[in-house]
Chain A
Amino acid sequence: MRRSVAYPLAAVAAVAAPVLVAAPASAHGYVSAPPSRQALCATGAVPDCGPIQFEPQSVEGPKGLKSCDGGLSQFSVLSDESRDWPATSVGTSVPFRWVFTARHRTSNWEYFVDGTKVATVDGGNQQPDAVVTHNIDLSKFKGRHTVLAVWNIGDTPNAFYSCIDLNIGGGGDGGSQPAPTGEPTRAPAPTTQPTTPAPASSSRPPAPTGEPASGRTWKAGETYKTGDVVTFNGARFRCRQGHTALPGWEPSQFTLALWLPL
């Protein structure tokens, strides 16, 4: 069922050349919080993970494995203990959240700590809810441990594997964040901007003509406010909607709602 095809990854910045990637299969899922190893790769918290960073949901292998990589050589980084995976500090009852991109009927979910099964959650051979959280009691463990979470599919011989590195009993109780109530005041500055275009300046020549404040070059990761002006590929654009710039959101015909050509 698993086949391989070559296709170029569009994230040119991240990948030098087209690489061979396993074709996504039809069911997908992984543990998003506390972050599994593939989630840490996808966020870039752990760098240079290879193709898994683009498809953290694809660690699929036959049922019964005890490996973080599902037996897939292209994802073997997930089993590489020399990567010094950061451990998330959690309490003794840990909520594990799953992300699904397709929801197959589920036999069950299993959780192992250092190879020993600590919990089984029945899936009733039903399609799971879109958001699944399991609270797992890890009070018998203290300190640093690796949890293997397994999603056993009901209608295929396969399972999906996620390894989560934890520092148990080392942090707040209740796990990484059962409810993120604590941080309403993270970034008070840029309130959501209404989409009204900024005061219309008269149309200007495309070349920046002696305007000191508006010549910044568009850059991923920057936070832009409505009215900010950037240059990109020699043209100038005004921000119409406050946002943090992402790769793929540079000014273009696809992002006219964010960037108005000047």
Chain B
Amino acid sequence: MSARRRAILLVVLAAALPLTACDGDPAETKAASAASKAPSSGYNDQDVIFLQMMVAHHEQGLEMVRLAADRAEREQVRTLASAVDATQTEELKLMKSWLAKWSKPTTSEAAENAHLHHGAAPATGAKEIGALRKAKGAGFEPAFLNLFIGHQGSAVEMARTEQSKGASSDAKAFAGRVVESRTAEIRQMLRLLNS
């Protein structure tokens, strides 16, 4: 990979807010460890970084489902997309309200960089959403479904990390919801992709 290409890639990755929770423990990253452990107020660094990553993840997800609600050919796909839009919009408000309550920003460098340490790209980024925006006609639905199956699969991975390492009961309950509902969404989308 040329230096120029690598530079472009980093820019793309940074712009794309790398999102998937990976092997690395996000709570160990520098920016996050600056945040105080505050067991008394009931949350830890993992809760904060989980919510920050999920805020960005949700915003990208909303871009995708809004395209699908408009362009998907099948009623079932459009209905699913609209329902995901409704639920994730609500979840986004909740997550931001918790971060505000803890006086944490809705984004952080640590959340954005969670992927860079091992060089993987997240399931979805600005470039992929841009490509989806250009997909037309019969090609749109399989492109959307495949992309969104991967996107929600990353959400499950992040939420599982939160379930095992988080402290906030709200954030962990939310993570449980994410695991459950996204697993069910993936099931439905895999069926739609193959029917």
Known: A32-B146, A99-B149. A183 touches B74 (CB 8 A): yes
Q: Is A207 an interface residue (CB 8 A)?
A: no
- The answer to whether B184 touches A101, judged by C-beta atoms less than 8 angstroms apart, is no
Q: Please, what's the 1-or-0 string for A244-256, where 1 marks a CB less than 8 Å from any CB in chain B?
A: 1011110011111
- Residues of A close to B122: CB separation below 8 A: 102-103
Q: Is A1 an interface residue (CB 8 A)?
A: yes
- The answer to whether A248 touches B181, judged by C-beta atoms less than 8 angstroms apart, is yes
Q: Is A87 an interface residue (CB 8 A)?
A: no
- The answer to whether A103 touches B143, judged by C-beta atoms less than 8 angstroms apart, is no
Q: How far is the CA of A97 from the CA of B180 in the complex (A)?
A: 25
Q: Is A181 an interface residue (CB 8 A)?
A: yes
- The answer to whether A24 touches B190, judged by C-beta atoms less than 8 angstroms apart, is no
Q: How far is the CA of A220 from the CA of B187 in the complex (A)?
A: 13
- The answer to whether B153 touches A57, judged by C-beta atoms less than 8 angstroms apart, is yes
Q: How far is the CA of A193 from the CA of B187 in the complex (A)?
A: 23
Select the stretch in B26-34, B36-44, B45-53, B156-164 that faces chain A: B156-164
Q: Is A139 an interface residue (CB 8 A)?
A: no
Q: Is A227 an interface residue (CB 8 A)?
A: no
What's the minimum C-beta distance from A25 to chain B, rounded to whole angstroms?
A: 6
- The answer to whether A102 touches B22, judged by C-beta atoms less than 8 angstroms apart, is yes
Out of B79, B142, B185, B186, which one reaches A180, CB within 8 Å?
B142
Q: Is B108 an interface residue (CB 8 A)?
A: no
Interface size on B, residues (CB 8 A): 71
Q: Please, what's the 1-or-0 string for A228-262, where 1 marks a CB less than 8 Å from any CB in chain B?
A: 00000000000011111011110011111110000
Give B134-184 interface residues, CB cut-off 8 Å to A: 138-139, 141-143, 145-147, 149-151, 153-154, 156-157, 160, 163-164, 174-184
* Count: A-B pairs, CB below 8 Å: 209
Q: Is A120 an interface residue (CB 8 A)?
A: no
- The answer to whether A7 touches B164, judged by C-beta atoms less than 8 angstroms apart, is yes
- The answer to whether A129 touches B150, judged by C-beta atoms less than 8 angstroms apart, is no
Q: Is B4 an interface residue (CB 8 A)?
A: no
What's the minimum C-beta distance from A169 to chain B, rounded to whole angstroms?
A: 19
- The answer to whether A192 touches B181, judged by C-beta atoms less than 8 angstroms apart, is no
Interface of chain B, helix or strand or loop or mixed?
helix
Listed in ascending order, the chain B residues whose CB lies under 8 Å from chain A are 1, 9, 20, 22-24, 69, 73-76, 78-80, 82-83, 86-87, 89-91, 94, 115, 118-125, 128, 131, 138-139, 141-143, 145-147, 149-151, 153-154, 156-157, 160, 163-164, 174-188, 190-191, 193-195
User: Can you list 20 A-B pairs, Cβ within 8 angstroms, ordered by A?
Assistant: A10-B177, A33-B142, A99-B149, A99-B153, A101-B123, A101-B151, A101-B157, A102-B115, A104-B119, A104-B120, A105-B120, A131-B146, A177-B193, A181-B73, A186-B75, A243-B79, A254-B87, A254-B91, A254-B94, A257-B87
Listed in ascending order, the chain A residues whose CB lies under 8 Å from chain B are 1, 5, 7-11, 23-29, 32-35, 39, 42-45, 54-55, 57, 88, 97-105, 125-127, 129-131, 155, 176-177, 179-181, 183-184, 186-188, 190-193, 195, 220, 240-244, 246-249, 252-258
